């Protein structure tokens, strides 16, 4: 492959947040371009006016920046084949659609919405019957002169097999009879998605097209357009779906997996990039953690799978936890502080710092701080304690240990991790208890749980008043057992 001629593109529609499936397509396309010393182009496909969302272009640009994707040409980086917004290329599409009419590969269609509705079958599907293909030249000219609204449709072959080769799925063949005469140019002169893609990919010199495998069935229509114009057909690389489960793919419609949502929840951008890069591609040595440089170097078409990959949120959390372990204490504090302020807006810097230390060994993503806080600091419901906890509290010596801790904690004038642990040890010596029978009664009496994070840090953050109050309530209840 000539490394100098590779040109790829990412062409998102500004219809909302970027779905992780779209981001993965961008990443693979970016890796491929960089790997072959080629160009990576960003094109904004904003011709679907009804679905356009204000601010979505800014979201796309921000997402690419956070993901570490730098494009060579596109908005703000004008090259020789712009503009890079399809809405600004509108006159081109009409010109090329009319060229196809002249070649006999497309035709004007004046059918009304009502007539098209009448073509519905028993399942509600419409297949156009080529009514306007049979209009005479004089009739077409009369309708155009009367400014009757029209669309331009692609004329499909009447018979034969349309085929193409995909670099993942191999030879794909479709019977021409299955292909409907699709609309290329709408009545407002905006192009349809399929037509604009072909025109722009050709004019921008795109050599390799990477996209989801849901486009496999429509690619023959693309290729017929290339052939009608006499243009070179790009190489196709159709990517497997990212699935929500065994039978459902991730979908924007159901609010699944938007990149920005993960960022807001405290997932690190590169953790997301690393994880979704492995959804559909597998390195030969099963390595999991990669830098961006390594992803570019190691990515290969040979490693792409045909079958879909299930998005596993637990695996993403593992990646995020692994990357969080690598940041400094200061970076971790700055990362977690916004989430801690949502829990407790008026706490001291020391409290926030201690919370960071407490959570660091357990927290997998930022927003989880609220869940962990609720678990660690929740009010104890004495009546709802598990049978395991109740059985432990009834063991010999546990009441005495809690009672003594309660008494000694009240005498502390300084409440911090050091004085708390020292007091626990002194009680252990006085009562000749240690290990589980010393620390677990303290934990259960303070949190209602038998297991949890570092006890000294946790009790310091709970506060002296809360710990003593909880112990007092529990002792009252244990006295009547």
Residues 61 and 155 in one domain: no
Residue 285 domain flag: yes
Residue 319 domain flag: no
For residue 46, the domain's CATH number is 3.40.50.620
pTM of the model: 0.89
Residues 43 and 104 in one domain: no
Q: Give the residue carrying structure tokens 């961006």.
A: 292
User: How far apart (Å, rounded) are the C-alpha atoms in residues 19 and 258?
Assistant: 4
User: End of a domain among 289, 313, 337?
Assistant: 313
Query: Is the Cβ–Cβ distance between 198 and 33 less than 8 Å?
Result: no
For the chain, how many structural domains are there in total? 4
Rounded to 5°, the CA angle 182-188-191 comes to 45
Query: Is the Cβ–Cβ distance between 53 and 296 less than 8 Å?
Result: no
User: How far apart (Å, rounded) are the C-alpha atoms in residues 73 and 3?
Assistant: 18
Beta-carbon contacts of residue 144 (< 8 Å; ≥ 6 apart)? 108, 150
pLDDT tens-digit readout, 396-445: 999 999 999 999 999 999 999 999 999 999 999 999 999 999 999 999 99
Residues 283 and 140 in one domain: no
Q: Are strands 39-42 and 7-10 parallel, antiparallel or unpaired?
A: parallel
Beta-carbon contacts of residue 195 (< 8 Å; ≥ 6 apart)? 93, 97, 154, 184, 185, 225
Query: Is the Cβ–Cβ distance between 86 and 45 less than 8 Å?
Result: yes
Residue 80 domain flag: no
Which stretches of 33-115 are assigned E, i.e. beta strand? 39-42, 106-109
The mean pLDDT of 218-222, rounded to a whole number, is 93
Predicted pLDDT of residue 3: 42
pLDDT tens-digit readout, 105-122: 999 999 999 999 999 988
Which stretches of 226-314 are assigned E, i.e. beta strand? 235-239, 242-243, 309-310
Residues 356 and 395 in one domain: no
Predicted pLDDT of residue 480: 80
Query: Is the Cβ–Cβ distance between 25 and 211 less than 8 Å?
Result: yes
Average pLDDT value over all residues in the chain: 94
The mean pLDDT of 290-296, rounded to a whole number, is 97
pLDDT tens-digit readout, 29-65: 999 999 999 999 999 999 888 888 999 999 999 999 9
User: End of a domain among 217, 239, 261?
Assistant: 239
Residue 180 domain flag: yes
- Supply the residues annotated as catalytic: 252
For residue 431, the domain's CATH number is 1.10.10.350
Residues 141 and 50 in one domain: no
Query: Is the Cβ–Cβ distance between 478 and 393 less than 8 Å?
Result: yes
Q: Residue 221's CB: how many other CB atoms inside 10 A?
A: 21
Residue 322 domain flag: no
Helices (H) and strands (E) in the chain, counts: 20, 11
% of the chain beyond a pLDDT of 70: 98
Residues 411 and 454 in one domain: yes
Q: Listing from the earlier edge strand, what are the strands of the sheet with 106-109?
A: 106-109, 151-154, 183-185
Whether the pLDDT of residue 232 is over 60: the answer is yes
User: How far apart (Å, rounded) are the C-alpha atoms in residues 452 and 372?
Assistant: 10
Q: Residue 285's CB: how many other CB atoms inside 10 A?
A: 6
Residue 318 domain flag: no
Of the pLDDT bands very low, low, confident and very high (cuts 50, 70, 90), residue 255 is: low
Helix (H) or strand (E) holding 349: helix 349-360
Alpha-helical runs (H) found in 190-279: 193-203, 219-229, 259-264, 269-277
Whether the pLDDT of residue 189 is over 90: the answer is yes
Rounded to 5°, the CA angle 107-110-111 comes to 115
Predicted pLDDT of residue 261: 93
Nearest residue to 342 via CA among 319, 380, 374:
374
Q: What angle in degrees, to the nearest 10, is found between the helix axes of 90-103 and 219-229?
A: 70
Residue 163 domain flag: yes
Whether the pLDDT of residue 300 is over 70: the answer is yes
Predicted pLDDT of residue 252: 57
User: End of a domain among 345, 360, 376?
Assistant: 376
Whether the pLDDT of residue 163 is over 70: the answer is yes
Residues 250 and 235 in one domain: no
Whether the pLDDT of residue 383 is over 50: the answer is yes
Query: Could you list the residue range(s) of the whole structural domain that residue 343 is in?
Result: 329-376
Residues 189 and 206 in one domain: yes
Residues 126 and 201 in one domain: yes
pLDDT tens-digit readout, 55-99: 999 999 999 999 999 999 999 999 999 999 999 999 999 999 999
Tokens of 212: 């989801």
Residues 59 and 28 in one domain: yes
Predicted pLDDT of residue 144: 97
* 3-class state of residue 191 by DSSP: strand
Query: Is the Cβ–Cβ distance between 133 and 181 less than 8 Å?
Result: yes
Residues 230 and 336 in one domain: no
- Quick one: residue 344, left, alpha or beta (phi over 0 = left, psi -120 to 50 = alpha)? beta
Whether the pLDDT of residue 318 is over 70: the answer is yes
Residue 263 domain flag: yes
Of the pLDDT bands very low, low, confident and very high (cuts 50, 70, 90), residue 382 is: confident
Q: What angle in degrees, to the nearest 10, is found between the helix axes of 436-447 and 417-431?
A: 130
Residues 151 and 124 in one domain: yes
* 3-class state of residue 439 by DSSP: helix
């Amino acid at each position: 492959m000539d490394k100098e001629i590779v040109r790829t593109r990412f062409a998102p529609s500004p219809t909302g947040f970027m779905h992780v499936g779209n981001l993965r397509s961008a990443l693979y396309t970016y890796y491929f371009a960089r790997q072959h010393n080629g160009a990576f182009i960003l094109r904004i496909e904003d011709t679907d006016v009804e679905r356009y969302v204000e601010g979505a272009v800014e979201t796309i640009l921000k997402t690419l920046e956070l993901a570490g994707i730098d494009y060579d040409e596109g908005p703000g980086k004008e090259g020789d084949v712009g503009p890079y917004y399809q809405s600004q290329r509108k006159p081109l599409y009409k010109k090329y659609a009319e060229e196809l009419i002249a070649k006999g590969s497309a035709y004007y269609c004046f059918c009304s919405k009502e007539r098209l509705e009448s073509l519905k079958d028993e399942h509600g599907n419409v297949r156009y019957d080529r009514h306007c293909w049979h209009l005479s030249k004089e009739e077409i000219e009369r309708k155009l002169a009367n400014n009757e609204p029209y669309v331009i449709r692609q004329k499909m072959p009447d018979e034969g097999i349309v085929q193409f080769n995909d670099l993942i799925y191999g030879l794909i063949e479709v019977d021409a009879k299955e292909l409907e005469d699709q609309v290329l140019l709408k009545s407002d002169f905006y192009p349809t998605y399929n037509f604009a893609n072909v025109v722009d990919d050709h004019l921008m010199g795109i050599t390799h097209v990477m996209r989801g495998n849901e486009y496999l069935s429509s690619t023959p229509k693309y290729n017929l357009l290339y052939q009608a114009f006499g243009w070179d057909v790009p190489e196709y690389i159709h990517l497997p779906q990212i699935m929500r489960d065994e039978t459902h793919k991730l979908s924007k419609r159901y609010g699944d997996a938007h990149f920005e949502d993960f960022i807001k929840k405290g997932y690190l951008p590169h953790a997301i990039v690393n994880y979704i890069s492995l959804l559909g591609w597998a390195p030969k040595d099963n390595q999991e953690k990669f830098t961006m440089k390594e992803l570019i170097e190691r990515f290969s078409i040979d490693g792409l799978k045909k079958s879909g990959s299930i998005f596993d949120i637990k695996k993403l959390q593992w990646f995020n936890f692994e990357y969080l372990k690598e940041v400094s204490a200061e970076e971790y504090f700055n990362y977690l502080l916004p989430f801690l302020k949502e829990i407790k807006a008026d706490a001291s810097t020391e409290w926030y710092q201690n919370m960071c230390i407490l959570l660091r060994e357990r927290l997998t993503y930022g927003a989880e701080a609220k869940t962990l806080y609720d678990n660690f600091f929740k009010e104890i419901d004495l009546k709802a304690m598990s049978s395991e906890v109740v059985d432990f509290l009834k063991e010999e010596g546990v009441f005495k240990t809690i009672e003594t801790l309660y008494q000694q904690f009240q005498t502390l004038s300084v409440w911090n991790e050091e004085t708390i642990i020292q007091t626990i040890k002194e009680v252990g010596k006085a009562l000749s208890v240690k290990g589980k029978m010393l620390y677990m009664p303290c934990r259960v009496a303070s949190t209602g749980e038998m297991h949890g994070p570092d006890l000294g840090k946790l009790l310091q953050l709970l506060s002296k008043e809360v710990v003593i109050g909880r112990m007092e309530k529990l002792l009252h209840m244990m006295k009547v057992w």
